[in-house]
Structure 1
Amino acid sequence: MAKRFVNWSGSLSFTPAEHAEPDDEDEVRRLIRRARESGTTIRPVGSGHSSSPLVRTGGMLLSLDRMAGLIADDGDRATAWAGTKLAALGEGLHDAGLAMENLGDVDYQSIAGATATGTHGTGLGFGNLSTQVAGVRLVTGTGEVLDISAERNAELLPAARLSLGALGVVTRVTLDVQPRFELHRRAWCAHVDWTLDHLAELQHTNRNVDFYWYPRSDLAQIRTLNRTDEVPDERAWAARRVPGSTPWEAPREIEVGPTHRTIPQARQLRFEEIEYMLPTAAFSACFAEVRRRVKERHRRVAGWRVLVRSIAADDIWLSNAYGRPTITIACLQNTGLPFEEYFRDMESVFRQYGGRPHWGKKHWLTARELRPLYPRWDDFQTVRRRLDPDGVFLAPDLARLLEEE
């Protein structure tokens, strides 16, 4: 009997009919062909960090944990097995003198899962992790193995770089990489009004910037990351002192180290999260409305913080930052506390300002609402039906996202 699956936050649990952990690509092909012949659905699963039901299935849950590790690197690109966790990938690249350009806030995810759902970090000059994907190798719904890159099957690359596991089971991911480098992390607190007034300046004078807003105090914790071989604009540093706003006026040096150790942060407490990607121009008005509603309607339950980050525009068909510079707003809530009323109210605000939901976090949109948000939606569906004509990967939850009734 298959074991019960429970995601990282504990909000998603189910028992698939079968749980498979293939050792190699040939076994992946056999499993997909068997599922196709029997009419069973397969959902690939990474580390289970996602809180959306993308992986839920009554059929086969397929984990690539046994297919992990760095395969090759040539200085500009590196190829890893799809089940490689980001933490291990970072160490492997570092040992090879390399690094990924940017990372997200946590490193529990597998590289295939993180890129398939649009995991992102922060910084005006950086896209989500999917933009670092130079190619993938996947097994389609018919059992065919495809190499997809700018050199082979290039027409499929804008769909395959972020695919929700809907095109096939990714077995290898090839990334654009660069020589390893170190970052210094700084943090300090200021009133959220000061933070919003100086946000554009902070974003343009630091490599990476984000901030947490604490609704019950109206303070914000600002976090910056800069390369150790680059000096931030000193005028910006001088402007950051905020007399009387908080005891921690001056930036504090938190950590210095390689990217894979300084960007991701350990998470001892588990939480639920909703995050929407907004056009940069809409951020100020949207955040003001979020702030108003949280303080007036949800302060009694919203015990956790609200996170703001930025993402560069890209051309990946299902990317939340497709075609537009993006600022994200994420609302977090401690695991075990009520979240749905709070998150649904925030979702109504995000949608009012043209937001797109993070694929791996809580949201309640279906294909009917999602399709107008993505200009290349129909192109993705054409590729999906070509690579998975029998719907081997289209479990009910994924079908609600991709198929209009």
Structure 2
Amino acid sequence: MPHMPQRPFRSIASVLIRRTIVLAVLCMLLVFGVQSWLLRAQHQKQFEMAINDVANTSVPLLAVALWDIETQAIAAQLQRIAQKPEIGYARLQAAGGQRFEAGNPALLAQGVSRQIVIPPPQPAQGAPALGVLELTGNPDYLWQGLRAEGLRILLGYSLLTAGICALMAFMLKQLLQKPLSTVAEFANDVCPRHLTTPLRLNRPPQAHSDEIDQLETGVIKLQTALQQHIHNLDDLVAERTEQLERLLEEIRHLSVTDGLTGTFNRRALQDRLPAEIDRAQRYGRALSVIFMDIDHFKQFNDTHGHALGDEVLRNAASHVSASLRHGVDWVARYGGEEFVVVLPETELDAAMATAQRLCRSLPEQPLESARMARPAGGSVPPLTISASFGVTAYRAGENTSALLARADALVYEAKSRGRQQVVGRA
């Protein structure tokens, strides 16, 4: 599994709240900018209205004072004009060269100025103006308004943002953070042993479903599919195990069975006979062995062919197996036309009787076969087979090779006596 870099954890709810705060601050700055532009335009309009008011009310009074050359009245009137909040500085330049001023003269370089020509009190045709009144706006009044409006907007939006964030935090915790935390803990605890543990979010019932419900439904579907897949895998494993056991049993059976005759093979004889000897030695039980060799089998193969020879071996093995005690006695093909019959719990006399019975009954099993050479003008003669038998009993302390060697020697003795004989000796 590739290594995943470890990143710091940050909940979705906290990210949403932070982004909401940033968005609220940006909105507050935007509103403040718009409000500042509107407030500046409003103050400009108020300044123009103040100038119009001065032109309508103060200019006639100044005209009379200039006409009568009342300097104190002129100064008092300019002082009243400069005290207006919209006007920061007022200056009157009389036609006679006199200058009157009130307010802060430093505002001339900062504020917006307007000039008003003062006509005579009783204007006549061609009468010159009495002077020029110059009015300068008060920037401090504008900035005070902007500060007050900014504080109002900042306070209002801060309270609104705090309220929205608190409400969002509560709603996100209930609707998003708790379910997602449960899902995260569930995902962290997932392991093969707890793969089918159900996901329980325990959310209150609601009239509609959302993404969390879809996530819970998807996890449940995934777990159901995994559980079904695991169940199918268990069934498949059980089925494959059963097939494997059958195949192993078949292989084991084939490994100890002679493919031609269906009896035990020589390997099985080498495995099973020592166990029989050990049992007989341990419990003091009898054990006898019959060595059987089919007579003239090589000559038979040369005359009739190997295919018919194989059929003779199968029939002989089948007849011998059917004549034994089921589940007790057993027979193994030793090699070629030689067979070994193992008789547990059997004394030599009983083994001799069994061999005599097989010696008599084997020729009575004729083999009709169309594969035999058909003589001219005659029918296929019945085929009879015979065998020679060597019978012996287990001697205490004797091993497998010695027991089989004595039985094999007795078979050769039977053949030397003319075949189809039974020779037995303890």
Pairwise TM-score range, normalised by the shorter structure: under 0.3
Q: Which has the larger strand fraction?
A: 1
Taking CA–CA contacts closer than 8 Å with sequence separation of 6 or more, which of the two structures ends up with the larger relative contact order?
Answer: 1
- Give the greater-gyration-radius structure (CA): 2
TM-score by structure 2 length?
Answer: 0.21
TM-score by structure 1 length?
Answer: 0.22
